[in-house]
Structure 1
Amino acid sequence: MYDAIIVGARCAGAPVAMLLARQGYRVLLVDKARFPADIMSGLFIHPRGVALLKRWGVLHDVLATGCPQLYSAAFDLGPIELKASFYPVNGVDFTCAPRRYLLDPILVAAAVGAGVEFRDNTTVQELLMDEDGCITGIRARTAQGTTVTERTRIVIGADGVHSFVARAVKPEAYHVNPILTCGYFSFFSDVTVPRLKAYIRPHRFAVSVPTNDNLVMVGAQWPIEEFARIRTDVATHFYELIGQIPELATQVHQEKQVGRFIGTGHVPNFFYKPYGPGWALVGDAGYHKDPILAQGIADAFEDAEMLVKALTRGLSGETIMEEALAAYERERNESCLPQYQLLMQFAALAPPPPDMQMLLSVIAADPEESTRYLGVLQRSVPVAEFFAPEHIASLMA
């Protein structure tokens, strides 16, 4: 009998497992993939996420992979370019973007080191339920093709936007927004990018991020209405977009591409009620949004800490589990919702209105305010604080 079974061993599931095991709980962590394995996902970790890696004692291992430390970012809007240092969080003033086939095994190793039992290449086929409708365990197929049944006090779905656990428990969805963008990325060699840089054009978005092996990840996004056209010839449309950005066009060429294009037109925007009798959801399984501001990994790390705080109160008997998980949902929503609403504006890919262009011009001329604005996009500076009427008035004065 386990205290917790966690389905999904990536950026949400592995930290939940690790943090629970460090408190003495018996934890089983399963993933359908055979590790190490790359996945179709972003790489970028905001400073608040890097600060958590440091607190968990795994940042050294992540940086030891050769992943560059990035201390600044630039936003090129055509007539305006905003450059800024990253807003520091708990003494961490840099970001990084490790390849997932390197990052995820490091997180799993930290979980195993804490006492977690890890089984990869294990596919959950069914959630077990008692007569009262409470989830009590899993039935899964192992790498050897055998079927196993495991019992637990709680099953945690950390298995991403297409979560099997979420499909099984059918949670309530809210704050649902339509899909706004489609996107593709690939990796390129011999591209000189000293920092993260985003290029914002009307109905187009591109980004370049240095990563491991002296490669740069270059991504592009279009309005979802163009997905049917884009997917018929991704390479042509990708290089056409890059060609509209002279700085990238001079460096990003097909002969420098390393690997295939990775992308999708299915990037839903929603919150799920993240708990119920015998189950909980964490990371993308419980809250998903457009990747345009690259919040996914840092959000997953923070979500993991919030959930573990609640689980500890419930598993220890300090409070009723349902009450503890309801508090987790409130904390998650209060933390994420303001940024989620701002992110929806970015994902619309609409040109900034004249008053916003004027404000960005003012911010770009002030290094301190540029860093604070970047802090808003990092989700380190509260949206309401930066955009408070009195602050905007002082800037525009």
Structure 2
Amino acid sequence: MSQAGAVVIGAGPSGAATALVLSRAGHHVTVLDRAHFPRDKACGEGLMPSGVAVLRRLGLLDAVLATGTPRIRGVSYTHGDGTPTAYAPFPMPIDGGEGWGLGVRRTVFDTILIEALRREPRLTLREGVRASGVLRGASGRITGVSTEEGPVWAKAVIAADGLHSPMRAAAGWAVATSGEGRYGMAGHWKLDVRALDRIAVSFGDREEWYQCPVGSDLLLVSTLAGRARIGVTARNYQAAARAAVPALRGAELVGGTLAAGQFRQRARTVAADGMFLVGDAAGYGDPTTGEGIGIGLLLGQRLGGHVAALLSGEVDRKSAEVRYRRDHAEIWRNPSRVTALALMMARHPRLSRRAVARAVDRPHALGALLGINCGYWGFGKLTPRDWLSLCGF
């Protein structure tokens, strides 16, 4: 049995950010993760500028840059035949800061996060420990988690345990999803990508392909599609990737392929009874716009502040929960709408082709949409003419 001010289940980006904020605020934190690091996982590996800003605030940006991770300046969109191709750079943040993102190999990124956790004197990191359930007191409040090594009690429980969160299910907060759903596959290819400074998105037949440089000689190539289509790709990812991305025809696939899904997940709440959900555990839509890691970091930072105030006695439990629920809804509101727009384009190739063609001549609308996704401004930034351009008119 052990006791902590807070227990965080999951040491990925959102869990690590939450734990770092809490530890640096003077609170004792236990972090549990069923994996042993370093470990790989399916991930878009693109960090939007808003996420870069969080790394800077956490004091981790220099360590990430020192690995040689490429800077991402914008996003390009095209169709399978390569025409037309529209490009928009990331707009500059309205409050200053970095106007670029990063292509971060997940194994590299997680290593930096884990090393930062290990340096914190008030933080205990326990790898290879699986949390199997929640523990409740007589009042029904969640007071800890059960593990194969015994219970871990805490004043606050933070679940950052991923897309199919066991803690979300254990609390009874999982919401069943219907429909075919969306799935992803990813592989890493060895080729010279030093001249590539953008995420490249290509619309195909009921699927999208994404390219993101994650090193001077390493390109992440991932695809998103429904269950039936991704099943076809899974039979021969190499051949499908080479057919969709011409640059791969002479490249070498490094390692195996990784898969993830069903992406659409919902939670009844993200905070109640002394437990908080953060990152993919709090529910997710789709990775098509690449905002997942950045928003996970931002919400982890916000949640860390709210739980620190709770542990310090500055606010009560219900106030901390209300504040976090409000932050979560506010931060996800506009990116969720951008995701819905992107998915509509993916489902209607003729519409997306017209929209891409219009964006070639009018990139302003696409750039404004990237700014909305990054949280710089709202949809009021788009003019009626911008909307017509985004709809292919």
Which TM-score tier does this pair reach, normalised by the shorter chain?
0.7 to 0.9
The structural deviation recorded for 1:360 is 4.8
| 2:224–2:230 CA contact under 8 A, matched in 1 | no
| 1:135–1:277 CA contact under 8 A, matched in 2 | yes
Show the counterpart of 1:256.
252
Show the counterpart of 1:124.
131
Output the amino acid matched with 1:386.
Answer: K
The structural deviation recorded for 1:392 is 4.1
The structural deviation recorded for 1:225 is 3.4
Match of 2:227 among 224, 227, 243: 224
Could you say what the CA RMSD is over the residues aligned between the two structures, in angstroms? 2.7
Q: Which runs of 5+ in 2 are unaligned?
A: none
The structural deviation recorded for 1:285 is 0.3
- Structure 1 distance, partners of 2:284, 2:364, is 31
| 1:75–1:197 CA contact under 8 A, matched in 2 | yes
The alignment partner of 2:367 has SS state of helix
Output the amino acid matched with 1:107.
Answer: L
The structural deviation recorded for 1:119 is 1.3
The structural deviation recorded for 1:335 is 2.0
Match of 2:304 among 290, 293, 308: 308
| 1:124–1:140 CA contact under 8 A, matched in 2 | yes
Q: Judging changes above 3 Å, is the alpha-carbon distance between structure 1 residues 360 and 136 closer, same or farther for their aligned structure 2 residues?
A: same
Match of 1:102 among 104, 108, 111: 108
Show the counterpart of 2:183.
182
The structural deviation recorded for 1:232 is 3.7
Q: Judging changes above 3 Å, is the alpha-carbon distance between structure 1 residues 183 and 138 closer, same or farther for their aligned structure 2 residues?
A: closer
Match of 1:197 among 200, 210, 216: 200
The alignment partner of 1:309 has SS state of helix
The structural deviation recorded for 1:367 is 5.2
Show the counterpart of 1:139.
146
Q: Does 2:348 align with 1:351?
A: yes
Aligned length: 382
Show the counterpart of 1:144.
none
Match of 1:290 among 283, 286, 300: 286
| 2:33–2:126 CA contact under 8 A, matched in 1 | yes
- Structure 1 distance, partners of 2:347, 2:353, is 12
| 1:187–1:217 CA contact under 8 A, matched in 2 | yes
- Structure 1 distance, partners of 2:151, 2:277, is 21
The alignment partner of 2:125 has SS state of strand
Q: What is the 5 A alignment of 1:327-346?
A: 327-346=323-342
Q: What is the 5 A alignment of 1:18-37?
A: 18-37=20-39
Q: Judging changes above 3 Å, is the alpha-carbon distance between structure 1 residues 345 and 269 closer, same or farther for their aligned structure 2 residues?
A: farther
Q: Judging changes above 3 Å, is the alpha-carbon distance between structure 1 residues 265 and 129 closer, same or farther for their aligned structure 2 residues?
A: closer
- Structure 1 distance, partners of 2:374, 2:225, is 22
Deviations 1:130-153 (A, max 9, x none): 222222222323xxxxx2332210
Q: Judging changes above 3 Å, is the alpha-carbon distance between structure 1 residues 202 and 345 closer, same or farther for their aligned structure 2 residues?
A: farther
- Structure 2 distance, partners of 1:153, 1:198, is 44
| 2:288–2:339 CA contact under 8 A, matched in 1 | yes
Show the counterpart of 2:264.
268
| 2:76–2:85 CA contact under 8 A, matched in 1 | yes
Q: Which runs of 5+ in 1 are unaligned?
A: 142-146, 243-247
Show the counterpart of 1:64.
66
Deviations 1:153-205 (A, max 9, x none): 0111011012121121011649x674543321111112445122111235221
- Structure 2 distance, partners of 1:127, 1:261, is 33
TM-score, normalised relative to structure 2: 0.87
| 2:289–2:338 CA contact under 8 A, matched in 1 | no
The alignment partner of 1:346 has SS state of helix
- Structure 1 distance, partners of 2:382, 2:350, is 16
Q: Judging changes above 3 Å, is the alpha-carbon distance between structure 1 residues 345 and 179 closer, same or farther for their aligned structure 2 residues?
A: farther
Show the counterpart of 2:97.
91
| 2:11–2:33 CA contact under 8 A, matched in 1 | yes
The alignment partner of 1:198 has SS state of strand
| 1:173–1:273 CA contact under 8 A, matched in 2 | no
Show the counterpart of 1:148.
150
| 2:358–2:389 CA contact under 8 A, matched in 1 | no
Q: Judging changes above 3 Å, is the alpha-carbon distance between structure 1 residues 269 and 344 closer, same or farther for their aligned structure 2 residues?
A: farther
Output the amino acid matched with 1:94.
Answer: W
| 1:138–1:151 CA contact under 8 A, matched in 2 | yes
Q: Judging changes above 3 Å, is the alpha-carbon distance between structure 1 residues 272 and 298 closer, same or farther for their aligned structure 2 residues?
A: farther
